[in-house]
Structure 1
Amino acid sequence: MFEEILSRIRPRVIEANLPNNLWGAYDLVTHTIALRPRLAPIQRRSTLSHETAHAVLGHAGYSPRQERAAEELSASWLIQHDQFTQASLIYGTATALANELDVLPRDIHAYMRLLKRTQKQETPWQPEG
């Protein structure tokens, strides 16, 4: 799903050395996503999805609220609910679940927040620590 959205909104994607150890950044004015060079493939996909979420949401600048919104939207694109539900019955940590679903643990945590907020019910899996 994420790849379809990326191809639809067509931001300019570049590699750039970013400050503060950031993996990515979105510039609303130029409609450009900057990614840190040499990210691992899973880091690059997750970061590109996250920055694409900022683009879709029209975010400019930084705020914790915008970060959470982008994290959750990105996670909803990267994680299929049925696969999450099945894997969550088997794997007991965010890292193990992330490995199974080919996402980062931060994507798992964002997806869990999204589920709790939108479904108003307990999910079958609760992250450790």
Structure 2
Amino acid sequence: MFEVVLARLAPRIVETDLPDQLWGAYDLLTHTIFLRPRLAPIQRRSTLSHETAHALLGHTGHHPRQERAAEELSASWLIHPTQWAAATRIYNTATPLAHELDVLPRDTHAYMRLLKRTQKQENHPWPPAE
């Protein structure tokens, strides 16, 4: 899914060494996604999806709220609900789920947060029904 968004946004993608052990970064001013070279395929896909989420959301800088939003949007692109449902019947922790779904554990954690928040919103709609 994120590949479609990535193609539409068409950011420049540059592999370069990044500070602080970062795997990726997005620069809104130059519309560039920077990726650490030699990431494993699963790391590269997850990082590229995460940085694409920053690009779509128009994020600048590094703020925890922006990171959470990018993580959850990225996870929603990488994890299909049907696959999630099947995998959670077998596994109940992040690492085995990630392995089964071919994503990183951080993606499964983000997807779990997204599901919890969505369920809370469904249980407590606003404005209240009349």
Shift of 1:24: 0.1
Which residue does the alignment assign to 1:17?
A: 17
> Which amino acid is the alignment partner of residue 107 of structure 2?
D
Tell me the distance in 2 between the aligned counterparts of 1:46 and 1:25: 12
More helix by share: 2
TM-score of the superposed pair, with normalisation by structure 1? 0.92
Runs of 4+ aligned structure 1 residues displaced above 4 Å come to none
Shift of 1:92: 2.4
Identity of aligned residues (%): 76
The DSSP-based 3-state class of the residue aligned with 1:77 is: helix
Unaligned runs of 5+ in 2: 122-130
Tell me the distance in 2 between the aligned counterparts of 1:61 and 1:104: 24
Matches within 5 A, 1:1-129: 1-120=1-120
Shift of 1:78: 0.3
Matched residue pairs, number? 121
Cα-Cα RMSD? 0.9
> Which amino acid is the alignment partner of residue 68 of structure 2?
R
The DSSP-based 3-state class of the residue aligned with 1:33 is: strand
Unaligned runs of 5+ in 1: 122-129
Bigger radius of gyration: 2
